[in-house]
Structure 1
Amino acid sequence: MNYFLVKSEPFKYSWEQFLKDKQTFWDGVRNYQARNNLQAMKEGDLVLFYHSNEGKEVVGIAKVIKEHYPDPTTTDERWVVVDLAPIETLKKPVTLETIKADPQLQHMALVRQGRLSVMTVTREEFDRIVALGSE
């Protein structure tokens, strides 16, 4: 099992919309490192859903339901998407401020590489964020 974090600006695609849709393909990634992370996702992997810009908080947990395939929004073969489905809304969103203040999360990619839209997360980081969101 691998763990990831994806970012979305709530005005473009919110957690609430994701819940209504029940699944989506994660498109629009145009950064090679983020693309490589999409390519590394396997069916069943868990994904933290982060609202960027507005809110700056982890709001839910999703899972990968289909591994990478060509991004249907472009003819450029370099870009891929994965299909995701929501699993659970966190009881309490975990803010970027909380993450930065937590000693267990200091080395998280979200803290070190804030602009990356799709990133890996360790099992310990994932579990810690879920615990913080359950309090």
Structure 2
Amino acid sequence: MNYWLMKSEPSVYSIADLARDKHTIWDGVRNYQARNFLRSMAVGDQAFFYHSNTKPPAIVGLMQISEANLDDPTQFDPKSKYYDAKSTPDHPRWQTVKVKFVQEFPTPISLDVLRQSFTPEQLWVVRPGNRLSVMPVAEAVARQILNLLS
């Protein structure tokens, strides 16, 4: 099993939305490096749900990859802001995963706490200027993040 950190703005899709929906497709990722991380995910992998563009930004919960290697349907929809005219069903450019709710943390783990606990090499989200919406988390770091909840 691998671990990931996946960002979403709570005004777009929040941990509360995922708790309500139970599962969702993680659509709209339009960065090639983040897309490549999505391509390497497997069913059963765990992902930290991170609220970005909020005060304070924080890890707010945990989800699990329930389906992998899916074509992102928004790339084919001309009405979607994630539409990609160069992408076709025969040659899709954007893949994604489906995630399911595991838990919302009783206390969010803020970016400040993460910066105090991890170096930029250990946890990419603490890197200055990091804009990736999907990133890997080493197993040892994932366990340390979970220990911050105790």
Which residue in 2 is equivalent to 1:110?
125
Which residue in 2 is equivalent to 1:84?
99
- SS of 2:101's equivalent? strand
- Tell me the distance in 2 between the aligned counterparts of 1:110 and 1:80: 22
Instruction: State the 1:92 CA deviation.
Output: 1.4
Larger Rg belongs to? 2
- Over the matched positions of the two proteins, sequence identity in percent amounts to 40
CA RMSD of aligned residues (A): 1.0
> Which moves more between the two structures, 33-42 or 82-91?
82-91
Which ranges of structure 2 fall in alignment gaps of 5 or more residues? 77-86
Which residue in 1 is equivalent to 2:71?
70
Alignment of 1:40 with 2:56, yes or no, is no
- Tell me the distance in 2 between the aligned counterparts of 1:128 and 1:94: 12
Which residue in 1 is equivalent to 2:144?
128
Alignment of 1:94 with 2:109, yes or no, is yes
Q: Structure 2 length as normaliser, TM-score?
A: 0.85
- SS of 1:85's equivalent? strand
Instruction: State the 1:53 CA deviation.
Output: 0.8
Instruction: State the 1:130 CA deviation.
Output: 1.2
Which residue in 1 is equivalent to 2:84?
none
Task: Please list, as runs of the form range in 1=range in 2, the aligned pairs for 1:18-33 lying within 5 A after superposition.
Answer: 18-33=18-33
Aligned length, in residue pairs: 132
Query: Where is the helix percentage greater, Structure 1 or Structure 2?
Result: 1
